[in-house]
A and B are shown apart, each in its own frame.
Chain A
């Protein structure tokens, strides 16, 4: 129970940090914000890696292999596409 309360505290506070930080992002950056935050939701890769490494049964191995692939595609694709977009945002005195 103690563990749970600790984790719940972290969850609630992190939500507030999220609201606070993200409200400040201007509309012109909303697409990169989505793709960037999208990449961060790929954090589930941590769980996928741990599970894939245990190699307990055939079924868990298949499930976790799929999870690693999807999460990694989410992470790499998300950060890369965000970078590609942000590189295009230029100001007037551009080269």
Chain B
């Protein structure tokens, strides 16, 4: 096919990607946006298959077939609670593919004896480095989220120094590859050291910081694609790659802002290391924590006219989204107004809670962002915190020395009564005690989230019977 036609088709694909992103800005049109993106991709693939550079199709079709099967299998079998791992893994696939394509093209060019431009050489180094880093960083992140790898930060002596050293080796090999691309071993060495860097960078980062890591890997997978675009001098790759790169950067910023921490602070790792400060917890909680049983909570709810549920990662762990739905439906049927307060970093990836609640048919109008719900808590009769801790910790507002100081929190303590469903008084990910548990208007319901919600619902139904 005429190369100009192919280029125009690529341009059209990119227009579809951008239009798709624009449609994704509203829940109503989001599905169409995704389909636009998918058709853009289909067009790009079909047009590429018509390129006259291609002499044989068997390898391509084997690859497409296996990849499609793998993609369908992953997409259909992954439960919504495991979405962060799944997205993490797919980021890694994209990064790996970019690094591999770059290697294949480099070997081709060398064996054909083609001259290599500076642009080609720099892009080759960049794509190999970023792509491999993305794969291994994502594998560690997914492993932590799935529980295969220790979720707490993995620390060791001289950690920052070793990371810095490996980064320098990466950059050194990258410049070697740029200077002498005909020495192919530098490509392989660069892959190896970038892989090591990916692992070293992610291992010391704790589980609750994974949203940031996944956003960053998302961004890298796009940038690796854009770098591959410079390798091939292909605008479709550059445009699509930079769109994804930009998207990941924005999400990373949003996540960091929602924790009032800098990206550097997250990346250096170690946040959420287990350092038990029982003395402080002792003075804060001493004799002031009131616990309640499901019957008391049911009575509170019966008398309430406005209820807000605050879900956190614990909801996902306990698979309590269906129990939440049942309680929501019953309360709504009693004429009680029920909303959900969603903190940006609740869960293990941006928007994690929204997806879990959407899965159980909670209408999305009921999901309130932090700025929207905070001024309303004073009118709330009962706020129920399910599996969240740091995001409702008033220390963030009151103690400037706390690790979570300045983090925007959901101000549940303003509600008339706060019910915290939690197994124990153990600290959240940040490792600090939560004075909210000892507030006069707080009741602790010590139990598994799912069982507690079911018990509350059962008592409430008994009251009404």
Contact = CB atoms under 8 A, between A and B. Distances in A.
Interface of A: 3-4, 7, 10-11, 14-19, 21-57, 59-61, 63-92, 94
Rank and list the top 10 A-B pairs by shortest CB-CB distance, nearest first. Answer: A72-B67, A18-B246, A68-B63, A76-B71, A53-B54, A30-B351, A77-B71, A30-B350, A31-B351, A80-B75
B254 to A, nearest CB: 8
Contact of B349 (A10, A28, A31, A60): A31
B34 A43 contact: no
B2 interface: no
Given A75-B41, A77-B90, A88-B359, A64 B350 contact: no
Interface string B62-86: 1110111011101110101001001
B100 A64 contact: yes
Contacts of A37: 21, 218, 222, 243-244, 247-248
B34 A36 contact: yes
Contact of A88 (B25, B87, B355): B355
Interface string B298-318: 000000000000000000000
A83 B71 CA distance: 13
B375 interface: no
Given A15-B242, A53-B53, A73-B70, A32 B101 contact: no
Contacts of A10: 235, 238-239
Contacts of B101: 44, 47-48, 51, 63-64, 67, 71
Interface in B35-77: 35, 37-38, 40-41, 44-45, 48-49, 51, 53-57, 59-60, 62-64, 66-68, 70-72, 74-76
Contacts of B192: none
Contacts of A94: 361, 363
Determine chain B's interface SS by DSSP, over half rule: helix
A22 B21 contact: yes
A55 B349 contact: no
A47 B234 contact: yes
Contact of B21 (A3, A21, A31, A54): A21
A74 B107 contact: no
Interface residues of B, number: 118
A72 B68 contact: yes
Nearest to A12: B242
B251 interface: yes
B94 A74 contact: yes
A18 B18 CA distance: 8
A51 B240 CA distance: 19
Nearest to A36: B34
B312 to A, nearest CB: 15
Contacts of A65: 59, 62-63
A11 B242 contact: yes
B225 interface: yes
Contacts of A79: 34, 37-38, 41
A4 to B, nearest CB: 5
Contacts of B87: 31, 34-35, 38, 81
29 contacts: A14-B243, A19-B249, A29-B351, A29-B354, A30-B354, A31-B352, A32-B30, A35-B87, A36-B33, A37-B218, A39-B38, A39-B41, A40-B37, A41-B224, A42-B93, A44-B237, A47-B232, A53-B54, A53-B60, A56-B107, A70-B67, A72-B66, A73-B66, A75-B67, A79-B34, A84-B75, A88-B358, A89-B358, A90-B364
